[in-house]
Structure 1
Amino acid sequence: MSAARGQTVPVPPSGARAVSAAWAWPVLLAAAVWLGLFYNLGAIPLFDVDEGAFGEATREMLVRGDYVSTWLNGQPRFDKPILIYWLQAASVRLFGLDEFALRLPSALAAMAWIAAIHTFTRQVVDRDTARAAAFIAATSAGVVVVGRGAIADALLNLFLALALFDVYRELVDPRPRWRRRAFFWIALGVLTKGPVALLVPAAASLLAFGLQRRMAAWWRAVRDPAGWLILLAVAGPWYALEYAARGDAFLAGFVMRHNVERFLVPLQGHAGSPFFYVPALLLLMLPYTGLLLAALPGIRRLHATPLDTLLWCWFLFVFGFFTLAGTKLPHYLLYGATPLFIQMARQRHALRSRVAALWPALVPAAAVAALPFVLRLAAPGARNAYAREALGRTDMFGPAWHAQAVALLACVVLLVLWPGRPATGGPWPRLVAAALACSYAIGGLLLPAAAELQQGPVKRAALLARQAGWPVRSWRINVPSFSVYRRAVTPATSTPRPGDVILTRSDALDGLPSPVRVLYREGGVLLVHVER
């Protein structure tokens, strides 16, 4: 099937080699999913502000018994709809409140996303391309990061993929079940992250049906009353209940601020140039950047087949829409990554140069190996006291960490430079091996180090405060994970008073009323008691 689409097909193995190949790919895919998504999933602190916010909102949901509205440190939270919180709450009920339970729904969603890519690609291309597409998805840097995060994006990407796969089926074989199932996936996406789950399939399908001169079919599918009933029946009840509970505050917070304003202006300082998503795309696709550059010229074949049309329209709309948006975050581009995984898999044998295929794998491997030395050089020159203390911690880089980082870098260098006859399929087999090494470098070394650097001191401060029973207020610091680990709301204060125990940062210490007694200090994170 792929040969008909102009792809280079390797000579199939025979006999014992065929049996070996049949067993190898399931093992490789299982290893890729385990390394990328589940290895040490709960062994590192909640990463960044987002994981802490989702985790604390889930904890407060369980404490309050309020499964309609979400709260963060005692204040209404309007950032996202409800589905990811329900899934995290169910996981916490089963496994207890910890990092593993909070991240498990995302990891499972990412695994289902990869499985959906495999199933769809096998149906519309062939088995080997399906395996390659699933492997690329499982080991790409962007999926490894969001699949390990206690956030909503892996779940949204699952529903976007399922919806647009059914859109393709509707494009080539119009049937009510395809479009109605697409409406169902869209509804779940709307419950996960809001209107973007409707916008991406609607716009991508409009472009694809239009280019295929099937606008009448698109309009018929869009006007399907059964489809809209499915969407309203699945997503509508929560939106109605939330509006009944919060009223206009819900419209102002969720609809206007976190959707309309997010597009119109940069929120929370997340601005970027018109070219922001060019380097973001190259980084998110690591270690497949060379393969991506080989696949991108396929945009010129936009009309080649209905599959090409839909996949490229899907990616191009996401890239163009978020380029125009005021708020820019790298992971937004993952909403259009699924078609790239498939197109890269179709072009996996087009790269003939080993260096062109494998040099991007050196980027994450070298970056991980160099990280301790970069921090050691950067920390003394940081002007901000908090950054200087945070970056100055190198205790997480022990001998075992260094040995693993160097070994991974050496493996990738050998794959790039080791001479030998070109394998069947060109450098693709070497790229597979390099991708596994990079996946471990990111998920097994880089993310744990970054999380410990940023959030390790916060976690230990919270555990100390919880053990001591201190009623803590935060001041000039935003670390919602502190409340998760302390298992109590940590309200912010604008005026620390004598007798308060304050969570703050070292660069804010001079602004506190004196005298203060330092109860805990590590990595620029402080717990202080304001003396009377």
Structure 2
Amino acid sequence: MDGSVAQQNLSLRRFSAAQLASFVERSHARLCAVLVLLSLACFLPGFTSLQPMDRDEPRYAQASKQMLESHDFVDVRFQDEARYKKPVGIYWMQSATVTIGEVLGVSEARTTIALYRLPSLFGAIATVLLTYWAALAFFGRRGAFLTAALMATCVILMVEARLAKTDAMLTACSVAVMGGLARAYLSRGAGVLPRRALLIFWAGFALGILIKGPLILMFAGLTAGILSYKERSSRWLLTLRPWIGLGFTLAVVLPWFIAIAIKSGGAFYSQAVGHDMLGKVGTAQKYHWAPPGFYLLSFFATFWPGAILAAIAVPFAWIHRKEEPVAFALAWIVPSWLVFEAVPTKLPHYTMPLFPAVAILTVMAISRHFVGPHRPLAKLSTVLIPFIPLGLTVGLSAVNWSFDGTLPYRALPALVAASVVALYAWWLFIRNRMLSCLWAGFISSVFLAIGVFGFAQLDLRSLKISDRLAETVKNFPSGTVSVGTLGYREPSLVFLTSTNLRMLDTGSDASSFLKNNSCAIVFVDRRFETDFRMENERLGLAPALSTRISGFNINSGRRVDIGVYSDDSGCP
């Protein structure tokens, strides 16, 4: 009797789950609503509390802030330096969200980094929804949903959704373009594309150029070139209405490109193309060099939790490479990936616009029962599913203990939950329950986002150097204090304090700065304090040491100890 009741309850639960799945899958709107909720669960924890992440994020945010301060929406500058590396698109978006924040009464909107991150959040959510739209050219609703969910829960998109940079929005534009291109190729016998597909394609193309220049052209151009070679014809591209689309693109992008050419006297093009783009191709800029194979190795972290499943699907892609959907996905991935591997300058997020195609191939292989415990070494290799959350749990605990002498107690429950669910996902894979394995991976990713971004970063006080320094400035009357820094020059400090932050080079410069400004505060790294004090004695100055800020600068890779000196004798 008891066994019969238990069996009935199990059947009822399965029936209810099947009913729920059927109800949701009955409508694109419902599936998209679930994807938005999943995306927000992965992207929102820590969105407002994470400090500006040096160095790129505060450079973008500061340049957008200066646009608002100067009312010059053509020129892009960081303090007095022209920032001619990327087009203007993301700066306009960030300036717009900050302006809306000011209108809505957000306190200190121009130094609230979350407002500058909103375009990246919107770009990340758009990436997920556009991945769903693009995948509908390859699958039914369930396959498209799983493809988009793999993007929503992958580590690299969770990171970029929280950073005020170009990459999340660029990926959204790339998926829009590639989704339109896929429809043109896979339905080329029909001879016509729906207006919506054309609008999405060309809007993504134009906006992609305005955000990051020629990269969008590389993704689409290499894919189209390889497929045209395969077909021995490029006539299928005519369904994209290229002349009308190019006219629309030029109407969108030309005004600013002409304006910046006039404004900069051509310096934008020489720096953006000659220094930034060709510099990455010719020699690795600064410390971003990595050998070929870097993206292949980093992929297992950046595309978690789907990475190892994608690796198992690689033979499937090779075996079925002549099938049109597989051929398109490979043309999307392989040539651009090889370009990125060949370029000396490498960063983990560069390959992110290719990940939707990876997700498509992965779901395709899973749906055909290619991916499973029967594949060679699959049971062993899928230990990588729990390895990432387990590794982060141990690693963040060790870092927190080393830097701050404590453990991330608030984060540990979520991190442990992520690890346990990931272990369960591994067990489900071994039992060949692939759909359940995918869902367990998605849930583990949500817990990981809560643990890492929502709580762990709050306890890493030693990494929040600029935030803590900026707090000391708030003790002075707003708009009257002059601020200088010696030895610590991170862009986040400029963003959080003042565009006019003085970057000082020597102890003598710091002393002169205090002497020449009646209401002033200066941050002095311990390495320069001896010279600073000697110069103060020579000039007869006695600035007050209000506090010391110690921590770890992840960019320089060293500990810092900064004295906060002030002279408030002339403050109102």
Other-structure match for 2:383: 359
Change (3 A) 1:74 1:525: farther
Q: Does 1:457 align with 2:475?
A: no
- TM-superposed CA distance for 1:217, in Å, is 4.0
Alignment of 1:266-285 (within 5 A): 266-285=284-303
Q: In structure 2, what is the equivalent of residue 85 of structure 1? A: 91
Distance verdict in 2 for CA 1:281–1:79, change over 3 Å = same
Partner residue in 1 for 2:134: 120
* CA displacement at 1:411 relative to structure 2: 3.6
- CA–CA distance in 2 between the matches of 1:175 and 1:415? 43
Give a deviation string over 1:399-441, Cα, whole Å, max 9, x none: 3223333343334334545899654746334334333333434
Counterparts of 2:115 and 2:381, CA distance in 1: 37
Matched, 1:37 2:73: no
- Shift of the alpha carbon at 1:283? 1.5
Deviation of 1:447 after TM superposition, in Å, equals 5.3
Secondary structure in structure 2 of the residue aligned to 1:169: helix
1:7 is matched with none
Residues 515 and 332 of structure 1: is their aligned pair in 2 closer, same or farther, counting only changes over 3 Å? same
Per the alignment, in what secondary structure is the counterpart of residue 337 of structure 1? helix
| SS across alignment from 2:404 | coil
**Alignment match, 2:122:** 108
Of structures 1 and 2, the one scoring higher in RCO (CA 8 A, sep 6+) is 1
TM-score, normalised relative to structure 2: 0.79
* 1:20 and 2:39 matched: no
Unaligned runs of 5+ in 1: 1-12, 380-391
The answer as to 2:205 corresponding to 1:186 is yes
For residue 130 of structure 2, give the secondary structure of its aligned residue in structure 1: helix
- Report the Cα offset of residue 445 of structure 1: 4.2
Q: Check conservation: 2:308, 2:381, Cα contact below 8 A.
A: yes
Contact 1:286 1:361 in 2 (8 A): yes
Matches within 5 A, 1:331-342: 331-342=349-360
Provide the rounded CA distance (Å) in 1 between the counterparts of 2:336 and 2:176. 16
CA gap of 1:419–1:71, structure 2 versus 1, over 3 A, is: closer
What whole-Å deviation, never above 9, does each CA across 1:491-513 have from its counterpart, x for those lacking one?
A: 42334242434445445656757
- Alignment length, in residue pairs? 502
Q: 2:464 aligned with 1:436, yes or no?
A: no
| From 498, 515, 521, the counterpart of 2:549 | 521
SS in 1 for 2:152: helix
- The alpha-carbon deviation at position 263 of structure 1 amounts to 1.8
Cα distance in 1 for partners of 2:160, 2:254 equals: 27
Per-residue deviation at 1:393?
2.4
Cα contact 1:78–1:250 (8 A) shared by 2: yes
After TM superposition, the structure 1 = structure 2 runs for residues 347-426 of structure 1, keeping only pairs within 5 Å, are 347-348=365-366, 349-353=369-373, 355=379, 359-375=383-399, 379=402, 392-394=403-405, 397-417=407-427, 423=433, 425=435
Q: Deviations over 1:168-226 (max 9, x none)?
A: 222233447666763442221111011112222111211122223333445x5799433
Aligned to 2:147: 133
Amino acid at match of 2:420: A
Cα distance, 1:262 vs structure 2: 1.9
Task: Tell whether the 8 Å contact from 2:177 to 2:204 is kept in structure 1 after alignment.
Answer: yes
Residue in structure 2 matched with residue 258 of structure 1 by the alignment: 276
Q: Match for 2:488 among 454, 461, 477?
A: 477
Which one-letter code corresponds to 1:371 in the other structure? G
Residues 449 and 263 of structure 1: is their aligned pair in 2 closer, same or farther, counting only changes over 3 Å?
A: farther
Mapped to 1, the partners of 2:86 and 2:446 lie a distance apart of 33
Cα gap change, 1:415 to 1:136, in 2 (>3 Å): closer
Structure 2: give runs of 5+ residues left out of the alignment.
1-12, 26-30, 102-108, 514-520, 537-542, 552-559, 568-572
Aligned-residue offset at 1:81: 1.2
Distance 1:45 1:257 in 2: 29
2 CA distance for matches of 1:341 and 1:58? Answer: 34
Q: Does structure 2 conserve the Cα–Cα contact (< 8 Å) formed by 1:412 and 1:437?
A: no
**Greater shift in the superposed pair: 92-101 or 428-437:** 428-437
| Pairing 1:167-206 to 2, within 5 Å after superposition | 167-171=181-185, 172-173=187-188, 174-175=191-192, 182-206=201-225
Q: Could you tell me how far 1:23 is from its partner in structure 2?
A: 5.3
The residue matched to 2:128 in structure 1 has which SS? helix
Matches within 5 A, 1:232-251: 232-251=250-269
Counterpart residue number, 2:9: none
The RMSD of aligned alpha carbons is 3.1
Task: Tell me how far apart the structure 2 counterparts of residues 320 and 22 of structure 1 sit (CA, whole Å).
Answer: 41
CA distance in 2, matches of 1:422, 1:215: 42
Instruction: Judge conservation of contact 2:52–2:58 (CA < 8 Å) in 1.
Output: yes
* Displacement of 1:356: 5.2
Alignment CA distance shift 1:87-1:207 (3 Å): same
- The residue number in structure 1 matching 2:72 is 66
Moved more, 460-469 or 121-130: 460-469
Structure 1 CA distance for aligned equivalents of residues 430 and 290 of structure 2:
44
Is contact 2:414–2:448 with CA below 8 Å preserved after alignment?
no
What SS does the aligned partner of 1:440 have?
Answer: helix
Which amino acid letter does the alignment assign opposite residue 22 of structure 1? S
Counterpart of 2:500, as a letter, is V
Give the secondary-structure state (helix, strand or coil) at the position aligned to 1:278. Answer: helix
Contact 1:88/1:101 (<8 A) preserved: yes
Aligned mates of 1:327, 1:81 — CA distance in 2 = 20
- Indicate if the aligned counterparts of 2:134 and 2:175 stay in contact, CA closer than 8 A: no
Alpha-carbon distance between aligned partners in 2 of 1:426 and 1:400, rounded to the nearest angstrom: 29
Inter-CA distance 343–506: structure 2 relative to 1 (3 Å threshold): farther
Aligned pair partner of 1:48 in 34, 54, 59: 54
